[in-house]
Structure 1
Amino acid sequence: MPKRVDHEVRRRQIAAGVWRIAAERGLPAATLREVAAESEVSMRLVQYYFTTKHQMLVYAFELAAVTAGERMRSRFGELGRTPEPVEVVRICLHELLPTDPDSLLLSRVHAAYYAAALTDATLTAADADNPQHMLENLIAGQLRAGQARDLVPAAIDPDLEARGLAALAAGLSSIVLVGGRTPEEALATIDYQIDRLFPDQTA
């Protein structure tokens, strides 16, 4: 009886090959042939799942965002209860920083994509559903929830604060990647800003 193939597992295997190449050598090195070798599959199989290199790269980028979201949901689950607004914001921002091998890989992958997007904007999403906008909207929603419970100062603008926090985390991630700051220093900086917005809330 022929062995059943989980096509999504196979796509993820190939995307993981894209990630490793992008993280180590930059996105331009992620050719179909190089990705096939890195993923330990045939060139023909890569072309079966992805008819073009661009399709493969976009899928790998989208999967990186999905994987980051899965990590966040796992952290929420570890709490064993519904997270407080401050916990949602803290977990989401902490997960953007390269603090362990998996988040380091994801951070390097995102950096490689953003560098490549300087000359090819189609490699990253530009609409309202892109990961950056989704993160900002999530944080803004938590800040509004905090304001409704008098946990967050009423005077702040949730949307502007959310943009600032997301940009801060992205910038710190890049700085940590090049050794400008340690992960611990980056986490402390994020926590300082969160504590400013959620005074008297525990970490």
Structure 2
Amino acid sequence: MPRTADHDARRREIAAAVHRLVATVGLDAATVAGVAREAGFSVGLVQHYFRSKDDLLLFAYRQVTAAVGDRVAARVAEGERERRPVADAVFESLRELLPLDDRGRDEYRVTHAFLGRSLDDPALAEVARTTAAGIRARLAAAVANGKACGEVEPALDPATAATHIAALVDGLAEQLHQDPARTVGGRPLVAAAEDLIRTCLAGVFTGECRHDGR
């Protein structure tokens, strides 16, 4: 089938219906018939755009992970345009990975529903692997940029720092999803989580930027 802008837009619209179903009801509800009802389409139309349920779910998983990744990249780019310290841009990008609002909570539920299914589905597992690798690569690049401008000590290994930061954020995201109302040290978990991330970044970005007058 020829790929057109309308074709791609319709596929994204169907994938958005998958997202809504998984976020509100769960992955088992994302049958072809269920998605068609949610999208307001016929089953035949959904099958016209996706060869199988597995094809549909794989596309939907890629869409939601790409949306998160795009926002992370946008935060980093925004920090660069505003000539802010690398550590500040990284902090803002990491907040996009936490379930802090309705959108974030829905995305967390959807991505982790797919992550669970990926244990038995190699195609979904590859999306999960490349998504995590992409986040670590962005973090490692930020650390390398920090080294170039003086915010990070030359001896620090970017990959090691990226793995450390990603592991912390993954753990905090899970806790925020499981028990968002919990308090830590008399403060809301959200505030404590953000402070923990800032403390982690302060241990990586220990210097001050020497470029661009920052």
TM-score, normalization by structure 2? 0.81
Matching residue of 2:67: 67
Q: Does 1:92 align with 2:93?
A: yes
Distance across 2 between alignment mates of 1:47 and 1:21: 18
**8 Å contact 2:152–2:207 — kept in the other structure?**
no
Distance across 2 between alignment mates of 1:170 and 1:25: 23
Matching residue of 1:190: 197
**Partner secondary structure for residue 163 of structure 2:** helix
Deviations 1:64-99 (Å, cap 9, x if unpaired)?
Answer: 122113323443565553554223322221110011
**8 Å contact 2:73–2:93 — kept in the other structure?**
no
Distance across 2 between alignment mates of 1:179 and 1:54: 32
**Partner secondary structure for residue 126 of structure 2:** coil
Q: CA deviation at 1:167?
A: 2.1
Matching residue of 2:170: 170
Equivalent runs, 1:137-176 vs 2, <5 Å: 137-176=137-176
Distance across 2 between alignment mates of 1:94 and 1:201: 22
Distance across 2 between alignment mates of 1:10 and 1:184: 39
Q: Does 1:39 align with 2:46?
A: no
Q: CA deviation at 1:31?
A: 0.9
Distance across 2 between alignment mates of 1:185 and 1:167: 16
**8 Å contact 1:85–1:145 — kept in the other structure?**
yes
Gap regions ≥5 residues in structure 1: none
Identical amino acids, percent of aligned pairs: 31
Matching residue of 2:116: 115
Distance across 2 between alignment mates of 1:43 and 1:5: 21
Distance across 1 between alignment mates of 2:83 and 2:149: 15
Q: CA deviation at 1:185?
A: 2.6
| Amino acid of the structure 2 residue aligned with 1:172 | L
Distance across 2 between alignment mates of 1:5 and 1:43: 21
1:127–1:64 CA distance, 2 compared to 1 (3 A): closer
**Partner secondary structure for residue 154 of structure 2:** coil
| Amino acid of the structure 2 residue aligned with 1:135 | I
* Higher deviation after alignment, 148-157 or 73-82: 73-82
* Higher deviation after alignment, 27-36 or 175-184: 175-184
**8 Å contact 2:115–2:128 — kept in the other structure?**
no
**8 Å contact 2:86–2:145 — kept in the other structure?**
yes
1:117–1:162 CA distance, 2 compared to 1 (3 A): same
Q: Does 1:30 align with 2:30?
A: yes
**Partner secondary structure for residue 120 of structure 2:** coil
Q: CA deviation at 1:119?
A: 2.5
* Higher deviation after alignment, 174-183 or 186-195: 174-183
Report how many residues are paired.
198
**8 Å contact 2:23–2:109 — kept in the other structure?**
yes
TM-score, normalization by structure 1? 0.85
Matching residue of 1:54: 54
**8 Å contact 1:111–1:174 — kept in the other structure?**
no
